[in-house]
Amino acid sequence: MVRLLHYVKSYKRQVILGPFFKFLEAVFELILPLLMARLIDEGIAQGNITKIWQMAGLMVLMSAVGAGCALICQYFSSVASQGFGTELRNQLMKKINTLSHEDLNKFGTDTLITRMTNDINQLQLALAMLIRLVVRAPFLSVGAVLMAFIIDVRLGFLYLLLLPIFCVVLFLIIRYTVPLYKKVQQRLDNLNELVTQNLSGVRVIRAFARTKSDTKQFESSTDDLAQVNEKVANVSALLSPSTTLIMNIGVIILLYLGGFSVDNGSLQQGQVLALINYMNQMLLALIVVSNLVIVFTRAAASAQRVNEVLDTTPSLSSPKDGKAIDQNSSPLVEFRDVDFRYSKEAGLSLKNINFSVSDKTMIGITGPTGSGKSTLTQLIPRFYDVSGGSVRFLGLDVQEWDLTELREKIAMVPQTAVLFSGTIRENLQWGKSDASDEECWQALETAQAIDFVKNLPDQLDSLVMENGKNFSGGQRQRLTIARALIAKPRLLILDDSLSALDYQTDLNLREALKRDLDCTVMIISQRIRSLQKAEEILLMDSGRLLAKGTHEELLEKSSEYQELVASQEEK
């Protein structure tokens, strides 16, 4: 947690001055009972009206200045904690932007999102509390003890005795509740899962008319959550009454011993009253301390989770000095003895792959589910590094390319068609940031998307909702193709991107690509028909390149290919 303080640097002033002003407020607050004691003992008891006015005036002044200090502190704490959270979010986002696919897979999306939101909120809260309370609460309790010592040394020891008793109670309660809080979190995750599942599976659930049994499961899970919550709340609720108990036992002892002191004249009545007030103050401050402890235990866990991301060194990065590239080098893409595994522990996903692709050709890749087709294409823009062998683009090993330059030359249409919220134009401009309307329409035309975009009232300015929810699967897919086309890449990779299209559109699209496009195209598809016209087809199976050649060549020499074709042929 301490290392995160690095991000507070720009708010050094606020972080130091905030507690300082809070400290001042606490000082003024501590002095109030003391002045009240003087008002009583010197003013009322001795019949001194001027003293009464003096003391009252002083107290008003003190609380006014105290309030001013408190406001300044609150202001500093809001600036520093919000600023800290903002800075931390920026840094975290920056880090996530540099992570490789492998790193992203390792973390998982959901956890990155919660770290970015919940965890940083916790830390922000902790810093605000730190600034506001970390000085005040302990100071008030220590100050109360000191004041007690100043008034009466013997009675001061009573305060020192009560402190450890309180700490033991606090410790016991925290020790008992922390594991329970974890359990609450688990049950809450469980509930979250159930609702999510229910939402995503609504069609199946209703088709099988299983709403009732699902409701039952949800109800028992809700009751489980309520039960643990109630238990942990009941235990935590002990804190306040036990503080009252300790505090007032202290008061009883104080009055008892104070009685003797007053009787032998070593203590005055007003001083006893002040001592009682300090007792109250100390233990109220201690309750605040206990809340702080709880906030910080939670924040420490969050800090750990945020640090884990910040500490990740991206598993791949651009080489420092980019090599000169021969734009006309041939072949365009070359795989030499490539082996690949997703992580050290995983088995090989690609085994000994060798092939090369000449410029301006069409390459088909086919094979059963899980044979490594997508994996293979992901190595070309260097989303992952090979485990053995090398991948070359324009004659240069992709590991020696500047990453941005390399990826600019390759456009990819992924399997799942994802659009981003914004307008159609904004989405298309992902491919080329300064694309003109004309370029947009051209790309839409090639991608067979011109008709439906033309029919939208706002055309290129039509709004795209989150995940492109307002477009059908096929429409989304064609828009993502247009987005890739607009980049005018050297290599276009279509990763099973035509699956949501019917055969007619699929055919039209492939013909348009051939007609309008001046680049190399790699098409991954299960449909042999879509690949028949390719200059070369790669047949993959279980991570191996089983055979390569034209459709006719493969039909002749590969029995696996024959089988695949036969399965798609009509009978």
Interacting positions 75-94 with another protein (CB under 8 A): 75, 77-79, 81-83, 85-86, 89-90, 93-94
Binding to another protein, residues 396-415 (CB under 8 A):
404, 407-408, 411-412, 414
Considering the complex, what minimum distance in angstroms separates the CB of residue 49 from another protein?
Answer: 6
Considering the complex, what minimum distance in angstroms separates the CB of residue 397 from another protein?
Answer: 20
Considering the complex, what minimum distance in angstroms separates the CB of residue 81 from another protein?
Answer: 7
Binding to another protein, residues 532-561 (CB under 8 A):
532-533
Binding mask 465-484 for another protein (x = CB under 8 A): -xx----xxxx-------x-
Q: Is 35 helix (H, G, I), strand (E, B) or coil?
A: helix
ω before 331 within 30° of 0 (cis)? Answer: yes
Residue 520 near residue 332 (C-beta atoms within 8 A): yes
Q: β-strands 422-423, 463-464: how paired?
A: antiparallel
Binding to another protein, residues 155-194 (CB under 8 A):
188, 191-193
Considering the complex, what minimum distance in angstroms separates the CB of residue 286 from another protein?
Answer: 16
Burial readout 67-98 (b: 16 or more C-beta within 10 A, e: otherwise) = eebbebbbebbebbbebbbebbbebbeebbee
Q: β-strands 362-366, 410-413: how paired?
A: unpaired
Binding to another protein, residues 194-223 (CB under 8 A):
195-204, 206-211, 214-215, 218-219, 222-223
- Which residue, 172 or 337, has its beta carbon nearer to another protein? 172
Q: Rounded to an integer, what distance in angstroms lies between the CA atom of residue 457 and that of residue 443?
A: 19
- Which residue, 248 or 307, has its beta carbon nearer to another protein? 248
Tokens of 254: 């104080």
User: CB-based contacts of 65: which residues, under 8 Å, 6+ apart?
Assistant: 24, 28
Helices (H), 99-133: 101-107, 109-114, 120-133
Binder among 119, 152, 334, 506 for another protein (CB under 8 A): 506
Amino acid identity of 25?
E
Binding to another protein, residues 412-451 (CB under 8 A):
412, 414, 418, 420-421, 430-431, 433
Tokens of 376: 């293979």
Binder among 40, 127, 394, 435 for another protein (CB under 8 A): 40
Asked if 380 touches another protein (CB under 8 A), the answer is: no
Q: Rounded to an integer, what distance in angstroms lies between the CA atom of residue 168 and that of residue 398?
A: 62
Residue 131 dihedral angles phi and psi, to the nearest 5° = -65, -40
Binding to another protein, residues 292-351 (CB under 8 A):
none
Binding to another protein, residues 229-288 (CB under 8 A):
229-230, 233-234, 237-238, 240-242, 244-245, 248-249, 251-252, 255-256, 258-260, 262-265, 268-270, 272-273, 276-277
Binder among 74, 318, 390, 442 for another protein (CB under 8 A): 74
Q: Rounded to an integer, what distance in angstroms lies between the CA atom of residue 128 and that of residue 135?
A: 12
Considering the complex, what minimum distance in angstroms separates the CB of residue 350 from another protein?
Answer: 17
Considering the complex, what minimum distance in angstroms separates the CB of residue 2 from another protein?
Answer: 23
Residue 495 dihedral angles phi and psi, to the nearest 5° = -90, 90
Asked if 570 touches another protein (CB under 8 A), the answer is: yes
